[in-house]
Every structure is written in structure tokens, then in C-alpha cells.
Amino acid sequence: MKKILIVNGPNLNFLGRREPEIYGSDTLCDIIEYTKRECASLNVEISAFQSNHEGEIIDMLYRAYDESYDGIVINAGAYSHYSIAIRDAISSIRIPCVEVHLSNIHAREEFRHNSVISAVCKGMICGFGKQVYPLGVRVLCEI
Ligand code: DQA
């Protein structure tokens, strides 16, 4: 059975109440439960982690290495656009990562168009709301 970790970064704890016209009305908890339901037929164990702190996200990525996770779905939130430290952690651990964003970052403000973590991830899925999470898990299962 593959072990997949879902990592969520800053402000994603506030989903459900945060700009619902952009991010939808589901809470992060709802989205994780939805992802587990959608992936129930895959041979996969899903764990989830959220932090508003860059260092805690980095620590979690190294824990994923120590605990031999097979893949990571990461929505690093705003850190995606500037955290070289998270990018370096992703490339250090060499666990396949799929970057996800609920919104289409290319259709929003220009500062969101670039992600510094994309190049060290297997790929990026954005713009499909909560569906990006099960899609990310599915891709990792097939790698
Ligand atoms: C986001 C997009 C980011 O630009 C933003 O800072 C977020 C959420 C998304 O899921 O669409 O916090 O990662």
C-alpha cells in the first residue's frame, strides 16, 4: 500500500470561510475527507498536514522522508510563489511531489503566475477546486 502525504500551507486552515468565491465553501477537513473517499478504491493510505509556518512545512517534508512516504501532494499556498527553502526541501527528499492549487494561479494576479516549487515537482494541477487533491493522489499512485 502506498503512503501519500497531503501538505497544505498558510491560510488553507481557513478554507470554507476564506474568499469562498475563489476557494469554494468546503473546509480543509471536508476536502481531506473528500479526497480519502475519492481515493478509496486505490491502494493508498492518505495522511494530511497543514501549517501556517514555513519551517514546520520543511520539518514535515523531512519527516515524510524519515517515514518513507511514497508521494506528496503539496499546496504550499503563497509560499509556492517565493519559498526557495520549501523548494530545496522538496528536491532534497527526492519523494515524488505533485503541486496543487485550488484556483487557477495563471488566471489571477501576476505575482501568482510563477511558482518556485513547480520545477522540483513531478507536475502541477491547478484550477479545478477540491478535485486537484484526488487528482494529485491518483497521479502519484500511477508513478
Ligand atoms: C493557492 C493559490 C495561492 O496563490 C494562494 O496564496 C493560496 C492558495 C490555491 O490553492 O489556489 O493560498 O495555493
> pLDDT at residue 56 above 90?
yes
Rounded Cα gap, residues 38 and 42, in angstroms? 9
Task: Give the residue whose CA is nearest to atom 7 of ligand 1.
Answer: 77
Q: Are 46 and 134 in contact, with CB atoms under 8 Å apart? A: no
> pLDDT at residue 143 above 90?
no
Q: For the CA atoms of the chain, what is the radius of gyration?
A: 14
The residue assigned the cell 510563489 is: 81
Which of 66, 64, 68, 62 lies closest to 48 in space, CA to CA? 64
> pLDDT at residue 11 above 90?
yes
Q: What is the pLDDT of residue 16?
A: 96
Looking at this protein, which amino acid is placed at residue 125? I
Report how many domains make up the chain.
Answer: 1
Q: What is the mean pLDDT of residues 120-141?
A: 98
Q: What is the mean pLDDT of residues 67-75?
A: 98
The domain of 110 spans 2-142
User: In sequence order, what DSSP letters do the residues of 21-33 get, joined into one string?
Assistant: HHH-S--HHHHHH
User: Tell me: the pLDDT tens digits for 93-125?
Assistant: 999 999 999 999 999 999 999 999 999 999 999
Task: Give the residue whose CA is nearest to atom 13 of ligand 1.
Answer: 77
The answer to whether the CB of 102 is under 6 A from ligand 1 is yes
> pLDDT at residue 76 above 90?
yes
Output the CA 1–ligand 1 centroid distance in Å. 30
Q: What is the mean pLDDT of residues 49-61?
A: 98
| CATH code assigned at 92 | 3.40.50.9100
* pTM for the predicted model, two decimal places: 0.98
Q: What is the mean pLDDT of residues 4-32?
A: 97
Output the CA 136–ligand 1 centroid distance in Å. 16
> pLDDT at residue 20 above 90?
yes
Print the SS3 string covering 35-88. Answer: HHHHCCCCCEEEEEEECCCHHHHHHHHHHHHHCCCCEEEEECHHHHHCCHHHHH
The count of other CB atoms within 10 Å of the CB of residue 107 is: 10
Q: What is the pLDDT of residue 114?
A: 98
Pocket test for ligand 1, best of 73, 74, 82, 105 (most atoms within 8 A of CB): 105
Q: What is the mean pLDDT of residues 6-22?
A: 97
At 5 the three-state DSSP class reads strand
Ligand 1 atom with the smallest distance to the CA of 132 is 10
Listed in sequence order, the residues at least 6 apart from 6 whose beta carbon sits closer than 8 Å to its beta carbon are 32, 35, 46, 47, 48, 49, 72, 73, 74, 133, 136, 137
The answer to whether the CB of 112 is under 6 A from ligand 1 is yes
Mean residue pLDDT of the chain comes to 98
